[in-house]
């Protein structure tokens, strides 16, 4: 079996680059890359957005999807700016976690609290800081992450 695989790799190695890319594209999983911002104020409260497009558990972390050619840090800074008009800075990646439904990889990023008065987009009705032990209903994954983060901020 190993000899057959080795022969297949040798043949594949001689194919034109565009054919190799097409074969890889057909056989590889496709998934989204999400970014989620963990923004704590000086009192240790977490920033949440009340999203207009999510009637179930509308409150959630600042989040969005990575665009081609963008770093995760740049993506969360862009998302916060698009949704609130506020500037922030990405400090560090806290966690990277894959999900299967939908096929997605999430990058959890600690950010500097934005300053100023927000200009809310059509996606966000309100932004507010919450105590970690007094959170509104959240999507289960975000609730679990913040529960772990509360006990170990380096999680």
Question: Residues 60-74: pLDDT tens digits?
Answer: 999 999 998 999 999
Asked if omega into 56 is within 30° of 0 (cis), the reply is: no
Which pLDDT tens digit goes with each residue over 73-106?
999 999 999 999 999 999 999 999 987 777 889 9
d(CA 138, CA 97): 18
CA torsion through residues 118, 122, 125, 131, sign = negative
Identify whether the C-beta of residue 72 lies closer than 8 Å to the C-beta of residue 79.
Answer: no
């Amino acid at each position: 079996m190993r000899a057959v695989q080795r022969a297949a790799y040798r043949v594949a190695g001689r194919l034109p680059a565009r054919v190799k890319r097409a074969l890889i594209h057909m056989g590889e999983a496709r998934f989204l890359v999400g970014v989620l911002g963990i923004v704590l104020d000086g009192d240790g409260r977490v920033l949440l957005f009340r999203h207009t497009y999510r009637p179930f558990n509308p409150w959630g972390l600042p989040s969005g999807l990575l665009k081609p050619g963008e770093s995760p840090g740049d993506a969360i800074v862009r998302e916060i700016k698009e949704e609130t008009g506020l500037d922030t800075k990405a400090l560090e990646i806290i966690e990277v976690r894959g999900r299967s439904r939908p096929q997605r990889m999430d990058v959890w990023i600690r950010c500097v609290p934005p300053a100023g008065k927000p200009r809310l987009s059509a996606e966000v009705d309100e932004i507010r800081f919450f105590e970690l032990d007094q959170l509104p209903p959240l999507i289960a994954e975000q609730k679990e992450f913040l529960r772990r983060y509360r006990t170990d901020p380096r999680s």
